[in-house]
Structure 1
Amino acid sequence: MKRYFILLVIALAAGQTSKAQSGCSTYYPLVDGANFQYTNYDKKGREDGQINYAVTNVESSGDNVSATMMMEMVDKKGNTYTSDYNIACEGNVVKIDFKSLMNEQMLSQMGDVEMDISGTDVELPNNLSVGQELPDANMQLKMKMGGAINMNTNVETINRKVEKQESVTTPAGTFDCYVVYSETKTKMMMANQTFPSRIWLAEGVGMVKQESYNKNGKLLGSMVLTQYSK
């Protein structure tokens, strides 16, 4: 579960922080009761687990919106991890409270581990256009496991740009999307790696599809929206 949690945090930092609805955005609706199911696939197209989200406790005050994202992550072996985190839209910017991921429920499922997460949010403008360049972002994850092992991970999201518009069909339906390219640089222990990726974003839905690649551009894995309701 530690590996899946790290992948989750990287995914949030690299692609899914955005702006919200209700005066904040046309993307990522913060609507009480909204549900989203994503299925992960490996490089050969084999199912590799699922992540389910549910939006709860939505509160609005003018252009500001806050909500709780309830999350259930299931790996390919059927192991389940559940938690929730806080998300807030203030004016035109959404902020994910990464520290809220480190609640007692999450820590109890991961064993003897202490974590500290900091960094800058990934921003996504309301009005996207082909060729548009987007701001970089970064995140630092510090983990102390078993009281002795320390592991620091630094994640940078760079070279973000809107490549094109494209229609995408998934089990959840057909969506008109903007395709956003970025590169995620990770530094963990003595290893440094860069992973190009693309996300497909649809208005009122958010992320419909995500693909990650190796340095040579070969597909490493993907995440696809398979069900949603709001």
Structure 2
Amino acid sequence: MRILFITFLLFNLATHIFSQNYDIIYPIKENFEKNMDIYDAKQNKIAYSNLKYNSIESVNGLTKINVLIKKYDTTNNVIEQKNYNVIFSDTSLMVDIKSFAEEGFNNQKNNIEIIENNIIFPKYLSAKSKLPEANLFIKKDTKTTSNSYEIILKNRTIEENKDIEINGQIYNCVRINYNMVINFSLMSMSKSMTFEIMDYFYSNIGLIKSEMFNENGKLLTTTILRNYK
């Protein structure tokens, strides 16, 4: 699912640091760019993503980063692309999740209802603290049907810092654990799915690893940093 991929890419502390500034999530660095590889449960590479900053600007006293993410298959074909804003204030960081839905529906917006509770991180991330719930609700009406899609990020908790190894290098990472619930109704069919996600963040890079599990604890996908600049 497209929104599923983007959501888990968006979204974290590690052992001897009590509190970490919120820019560990999205580093404020001009021309920042990174590539991440995506693997299935058997560690087969199934795709990769490229994240880069289009711009960093000051708007009404706030810092706004415009982010572009492209997802590629293993033959380097673009299979998905999303553009969104990350906004820093004096007290929090906000990821604008409404823009994910709006871009996907293009000229159909008149038939779409979008309600969002954006992803918020406080300025200081302290281990064992809870983060506010985030959600995105999309409803599309046609002459004959009404379809809806909802993503809920809940139980968002900052865990103790942890060392992880990537390509022979040790990173002491901020970790955020959360549940992602996806509810959708298409025609007469309704379904709900729940995933558990653990994200690992590192200073000046942001997300460097993400693990997604099903509700029974089985690993589904792993996303790992390849390189950055």
When normalised by structure 2's length, the TM-score is: 0.78
Partner of 2:63: 65
Q: Per-residue deviation at 1:170?
A: 2.0
Q: Structure 1 residue 206: deviation in Å?
A: 1.5
* 2:150 matched residue in structure 1: 154
Cα drift, residue 150 of structure 1: 5.2
Deviation per residue, 1:57-90 (Å, 9 max, x gap) = 2113685211221222113464313342233223
The 2-side partners of 1:74 and 1:223 are apart by 13
Rate the CA distance shift 1:103–1:215 in 2: closer, same or farther, 3 A. closer
Distance change in 2, residues 1:172/1:219 (3 Å): same
Structure 1's unaligned 5+ residue stretches are 17-22
Distance in 2 separating the partners of 1:179 and 1:24: 13
Contact 1:172-1:228 at 8 Å conserved across structures: no
Q: With a CA cutoff of 8 Å and minimum separation of 6, indicate the structure with the bigger relative contact order.
A: 2
Secondary structure at the counterpart of residue 204 of structure 2: coil
How many Å apart are 1:102 and its aligned residue? 5.7
Q: Deviations over 1:184-218 (max 9, x none)?
A: 11111211121111111222222111111111111
What is the 5 A alignment of 1:162-173? 162-171=158-167, 173=169
How far off is 1:167 after superposition? Answer: 1.1
CA distance in 1, matches of 2:101, 2:182: 21
Percent identity at matched positions? 21
Aligned pairs (5 A) from 1:137-152 = 137-142=134-139, 151-152=147-148
Alignment equivalent of 1:182, drawn from 157, 162, 178: 178
How high is the TM-score relative to the length of structure 1?
Answer: 0.78
Secondary structure of the 1:52 match is: strand
- 1:20 corresponds in structure 2 to none
Deviations 1:37-59 (A, max 9, x none): 11111111111111101112211
Aligned Cα RMSD in Å? 3.1
Residues 6-31 of structure 1 deviation map (CA, whole Å, 9 limit, x = unaligned) = 22343256x28xxxxxx963431132
Q: How many residue pairs get matched?
A: 215
In structure 1, distance between residues paired with 2:93 and 2:222: 24
- Determine if the alignment matches structure 1 residue 191 to structure 2 residue 184: no
Q: 2:36 aligns with which of 11, 15, 38?
A: 38
